[in-house]
């Protein structure tokens, strides 16, 4: 059963049947929120601004490209930016872990490696995010930290919260887990500093296709049939980007954070195989000449950059 397909459709019998569990889930979430708010459970505070970029839905909304954009922007403003993540999918036995462009995504997670490749900033991961912050402050003397995800990680105090919402899929059926895709009730959005809609304020600029094995640019694929593979939260969005190239797609979907094997990306023909950059970091060690990836960069309005600067100035005063 495809849960996301049900979550992002109108309320159906399956979702309605799970409403009692969703109600219990929401109750637990609210109790937890209040426990942190009233300091019954302590949160870790650091002497530098913490910006959390997250979402309240299950599945991809575009937060990682926004994190990369934000890190580059703030670095240009003179901040020594560090980036932290949980390192979802990483199998390391010790934490925190520093992440570099050539780190093994099986140890530290695929998204942190993607961020390290593109941000030019030090990156650290740990399930307990405060450990990653401590590492970056100690090793790199960072004076601003961005958290990739972690809107629900209340154990880490934050100065700015940015929630990313997919403008097309929005909140699905509007129900909390397991009846719908919401990690928290929609009322949670009233507390964030910004809601950024992917497809409106947050847009993607597609770059030239590159080979997975050596990052070399590849051209002249328009109107060609290709295999398109994706193991991300919303693969349909990626496939639509490829269609803008005029490509004819044979689509192959995998679960988000899927651990690829060589057989996953080999097919019984010589057609090009195009994947996301997030997939490419996991496939590089066994990729062939026909394996390509599509880099994307985030684009945001100038009004947002002005608001970020203003908010940081107020935070530091």
Question: In this predicted structure, what is the pLDDT of residue 316?
Answer: 64
Question: In this predicted structure, what is the pLDDT of residue 315?
Answer: 67
pLDDT digits (tens, 9 = 90+) for 237-287: 899 889 887 899 999 999 888 999 999 999 999 899 999 999 999 999 999
pLDDT digits (tens, 9 = 90+) for 157-169: 999 999 999 998 8
Residue showing tokens 């937890």: 32
User: What's the whole-number mean pLDDT along residues 134-140?
Assistant: 98
Q: According to the CATH classification, is domain 39-203+300-316 in 3.40.50? A: yes
User: Is the CB of residue 15 less than 8 Å from the CB of residue 6?
Assistant: yes
Question: In this predicted structure, what is the pLDDT of residue 1?
Answer: 47
Q: Where are the domains of the chain?
A: 39-203+300-316, 208-294
pLDDT digits (tens, 9 = 90+) for 63-98: 999 999 999 999 999 999 999 999 888 889 999 999
Please tell me the pTM assigned to this model: 0.93
Question: In this predicted structure, what is the pLDDT of residue 77?
Answer: 92
Q: Beta strand 210-211 with 291-294: parallel, antiparallel or unpaired?
A: antiparallel
Question: In this predicted structure, what is the pLDDT of residue 62?
Answer: 84
- Would you say residue 290 has pLDDT above 80? yes
Q: Which residue has the higher pLDDT, 61 or 196?
A: 196
User: What's the whole-number mean pLDDT along residues 109-122?
Assistant: 96
């Amino acid at each position: 059963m495809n849960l996301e397909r049900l979550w992002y459709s109108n309320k159906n019998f399956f979702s309605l049947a799970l409403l009692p569990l969703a109600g219990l889930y929401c109750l637990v979430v609210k109790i937890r929120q209040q426990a942190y708010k009233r300091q019954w459970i302590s949160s870790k505070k650091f002497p530098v601004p913490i910006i959390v970029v997250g979402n309240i839905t299950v599945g991809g909304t575009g937060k990682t490209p926004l994190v990369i954009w934000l890190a580059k922007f703030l670095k240009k403003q003179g901040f020594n930016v560090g980036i932290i993540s949980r390192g979802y999918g990483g199998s390391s036995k010790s934490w925190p872990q520093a992440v570099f462009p050539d780190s093994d995504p099986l140890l530290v997670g695929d998204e942190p490696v993607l961020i390290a490749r593109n941000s030019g900033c030090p990156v650290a991961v740990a399930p307990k995010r405060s450990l990653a912050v401590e590492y970056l402050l100690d090793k790199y003397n960072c004076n601003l930290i961005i958290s990739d995800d972690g809107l629900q990680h209340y154990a880490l105090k934050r100065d700015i919260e940015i929630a990313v919402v997919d403008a097309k899929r929005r909140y699905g059926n509007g129900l909390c887990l397991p009846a719908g895709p919401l990690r928290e009730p929609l009322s949670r959005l009233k507390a964030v500093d910004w809601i950024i809609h992917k497809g409106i304020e947050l847009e993607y600029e597609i770059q030239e296709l590159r080979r997975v094995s050596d990052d070399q640019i590849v051209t002249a694929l328009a109107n060609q049939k290709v295999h398109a593979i994706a193991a991300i939260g919303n693969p349909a969005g990626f496939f639509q980007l490829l269609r803008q190239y005029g490509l004819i797609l044979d689509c192959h979907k995998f679960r988000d954070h899927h651990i690829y094997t060589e057989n996953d990306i080999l097919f019984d023909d010589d057609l090009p195989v195009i994947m996301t950059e997030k997939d490419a970091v996991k496939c590089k060690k066994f990729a062939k000449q026909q394996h390509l990836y599509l880099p994307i960069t985030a684009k945001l309005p100038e009004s947002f950059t002005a608001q970020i600067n203003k908010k940081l100035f107020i935070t530091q005063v």
